[in-house]
Structures are given as structure tokens and as C-alpha cells.
Amino acid sequence: MRVPGIRRLKRTVHRSLRPWRRRRRQRVPGAVILAYHRVASLPLDTCDLATTPERFADHLEVLHDRAEPVSLARCVEGLRSRDLPPRAVAVTFDDGYRDNLLGARPLLEDAKVPATVFVSTGYTGRQEEFWWDALERILMLPGQLPDTLELALPHGSHRWKVPEGSRTPFFWKVHAHLRSLDEGARQEALNQLTRWSGASAVSREHNYPMSESEVRELIRGGLVEVGGHTHRHPVLSSLSREHQRQEIVAGRERLEALTRQKVRFFAYPFGMATDFDRHSVDIVREEGFEAACTIVPGSLDSTNLDPYRLTRYVVRNWTKDEFARELERFFVD
């Protein structure tokens, strides 16, 4: 084992104290919102969405040791009123996978860490994979694929040579073409792809979203709350203003009917800066949400708070050390 030199040790200590110093100097409450998707051990995770239960438990331990876990509501209120504990961290999940109830909630309860789960209600209760999981089944699972793919899409045909090595870059190229199609065109494309690949058309149960009763179970006890994530998870910026409103409102109304609770928070599907637009932001505000999350990376502070464009850091299947290191980086950024 290499013993770090004294200078390096000093630098490490200095670095680890930097967020504390900076906060003290600025005296501005800062916070970090984490974005998870799934807590599960998956046989295949092309989109890199899952954290294993063991590692998620490790992350929660790090949050207890090195941060102050707060609910998203407490985080937003605290940023507004400039009254937050130092190193406040809110935990969120996107999409509404069943493993949020089965994998994440027991660990959140053990650690007493609150969380917000953004649910796309058009998937709730359907024994159906989200389309990106269906695409994984079609492109990644078959042992052999034809040499070339020709896919007819509404805006024209696309031709790809199927790589002999890793198919992951190929998956992402097709994904990029499917993500902003409307629902019908995307389903048609997935049907074409299934016929072409010879993949099983049977969706995989471990990728199912929660049922309605599972969403109710998730929020029982109040440690976990749900937030809006539209109805069918579209790229909002690809829709007309009216269609955006329908998606956002339908998602909220269904969640409120399901939970008999007011839905206060929203997360833009996909969440990058180009996946929503000023109409999306206006609609979310007009429809009475208190705040909305993006997945544009960044930490938050009270001085330049835009509650309808809250930044978040996406968390991957990191080891305990990796998570601790990333968390430090989030607080410094």
C-alpha cells in the first residue's frame, strides 16, 4: 500500500474542508438533489439506471455520515427561506419502477431517509416495459442480429450496420431516433425492430412499473412521496404547448386520484435542457406545482434559485467510496 506523502495528505484535508469553508464564507444555504431511477440487481442495464440494493444501502450510510438527508419539500422550502442545514441532500427517483417499492423503500425506511418518486402514470399498473427497456430487449438480448438494420421512421428511413463488438453505441443511436417520436410512431418502430431482430416480444417482469396499489403502498407512512412525471413520459419540447399541458395535467390528476394527496413537485421527462422548453416551465408553474426538477447537473443555493429548473445529479451504481467522492464533488461544484 502506498502511504500518501504529507503534502498530499494536507491537500486532501484541505479539499475535503473546502465545501464547509465556502459555505461558511458565503453564508448561503446550499443543497444537492440526487436523481436515482432504480434499486435492483439487473441481469442487463444498458441505460445504466440501476443501483444495486447493497450499494444503495452504502449510499444511504454515506448520506448519514457526510450530509443531511432532507425531503425535497424541506429542501425547496429551505432554499427559499434561506434556512437549510449544511450539506442538505434530497433523494429522488424518476419513472416509477416497481423496484422503488421493493428495493428502495425498505432501505430508505431503515435509514430514515425521505425520498420523492416521480411517476409517469401512463405506465402505472401496466404489465409493460418502458420503451427504452423494450428497446434493450430487442437490440441487446438476441445472440445474433442481422448485419444491417433498415428502419422506416416518419421522417424517413435509417440504415445502420450492426456492430460485431459492443452493441451499446448502436443501442444509443437507435434510442436517439425513437425518443422524440410520438407514441404511435414509436410503437410502430418497436414492432418493426422486434420482427427484424427475432427478439422475444414478451416484456420482462423485473422492468415493470408499479401498480396503482403499489404506488399507494409506496407512500404509506409518509417517508416517500410521489411527484408528477407526465402521463406517458414524452420529450415535452417535441410537443405542442397544448399537448404538453395535457401530458402534465393528466399525470398529476391521476396521481392525485390514486393517492388522495396533493402532488407538489414535478420532474421533466429525460430532463436535459433540450427535453423541455419555456412552455413546459410555464405550464408546470401555472398548474400549481411548487417546483420542478431537471437532470441538468448542478448544486443549488439560495442566491440563484429557480424552483422550476432545479438541477440534480444522476447517481449511478457507484461503490461506497465512489459515491462519497462524487458527493464531495457535488458540494464543491
Q: Give Cα separations from 103 to 62, 218, 234 (angstroms).
A: 18, 11, 26
- Cβ-based burial of 127 (10 A; exposed 0-12, middle 13-18, buried ≥19): exposed
- Shorter beta-carbon distance to Zn ion: residue 63 or 236: 236
In angstroms, what is the minimal distance from the CB of 126 to Zn ion? 15
CB proximity list for 119: less than 8 A, separation 6 or greater:
95, 96, 209, 210, 215, 226, 227, 228, 229, 251, 255
Query: Could you give the CA distance from residue 88 to residue 32 in angstroms, rounded to a whole number?
Result: 6
State which residue, 116 or 302, has the beta carbon closest to Zn ion: 116
- CB 299 → Zn ion: shortest distance, Å? 21
- The smaller minimum CB distance to Zn ion, of residues 94 and 136, is found at 94
CA dist 205 and 123 (Å) reads 13
CB-nearer residue toward Zn ion: 95 or 99:
95
Closest of 315, 282, 312, 277 to residue 294, by C-alpha: 312
SS3 62: helix
Supply the minimum distance, in Å, between the C-beta of residue 251 and Zn ion. 11
Which of positions 260-289 make contact with Zn ion (CB under 5 A)? 269
Residues touching Zn ion, count (CB under 5 A):
3
* 3-class state of residue 91 by DSSP: strand
> In the complex with Zn ion, which residue's Cβ is closer, 313 or 331?
313
Least distance in angstroms from the C-beta of 118 to Zn ion? 7
Cβ closest to Zn ion, residue 103 vs residue 269 = 269
Query: What is the contact mask toward Zn ion in residues 59 to 98, using x (rule: CB under 5 A)?
Result: -----------------------------------xx---
Q: Is 133 in the site for Zn ion (CB under 5 A)?
A: no
We find the least distance from the C-beta atom of residue 99 to Zn ion, in angstroms, to be 14
Q: Which residue is nearest to Zn ion (CB)?
A: 94
Helix (H, G, I), strand (E, B) or coil at 143: coil
Which residue's CB is nearer to Zn ion, number 72 or number 199? Answer: 72
Cβ at position 147, least distance to Zn ion in Å: 33
Which has the closest alpha carbon to 264: 209, 308, 220?
308
Residue 54 is given by DSSP the state H
Which residues of this chain interact with Zn ion, rule CB under 5 A? Answer: 94-95, 269
